[in-house]
Amino acid sequence: MMDAAQRRRGIEPREISQESSDSLRITWADERVCNYEAARLRRACPCAQCVNEWTGERTLRPEAISNEVVIDDVSVVGRYALNFRWSDGHETGIYSFQYLRDLCELE
Ligand SMILES: [Zn+2]
């Protein structure tokens, strides 16, 4: 993850703002603005509990996550990722800036 982020240094947030408990907005260094819905972000959690580390297969079932899930807290990890604390108690996901940007582009 960190390697990917380092390879593409252009992928850096200029501003991270929590519009409400169920949405997050990131303004990137290149002016692109991305809005993220909390439940969608939660379902995309890249941690080892949600994704099989060896196969890359997502083990977290989307329906296991309530649409009502909200972001209790968000913090920057190092200079390359965000960590969320969700209202369902989950907090192990490290979302690299690259991954967040990719999620936005796939929308
Ligand atoms: Zn997870």
Compute the distance between CA of residue 74 and CA of residue 20 in angstroms, rounded to an integer. 12
HSE-CB at 28 with a 13 A cutoff on CA atoms is 19
> Which CATH number covers residue 43?
3.30.2020.30
Count of domains observed in the chain: 1
Question: What pLDDT, on a 0 to 100 scale, did the predictor assign at position 106?
Answer: 80
Residue 14 sits in which domain range? 2-106
Q: Which pLDDT tens digit goes with each residue over 11-46?
A: 899 999 998 989 999 999 999 999 999 999 999 999
Place of tokens 């996901």: 93
Kindly give the distance from the C-alpha atom of residue 92 to the centroid of ligand 1, in angstroms, as a whole number: 6
Residue 62: pLDDT over 90: yes
Kindly give the distance from the C-alpha atom of residue 84 to the centroid of ligand 1, in angstroms, as a whole number: 10
Place of tokens 């408990």: 21
Question: What pLDDT, on a 0 to 100 scale, did the predictor assign at position 93?
Answer: 97
Question: What pLDDT, on a 0 to 100 scale, did the predictor assign at position 25?
Answer: 97
pTM above 0.85, yes or no: yes
The average confidence (pLDDT) of the chain is: 91
Compute the distance between CA of residue 72 and CA of residue 54 in angstroms, rounded to an integer. 30
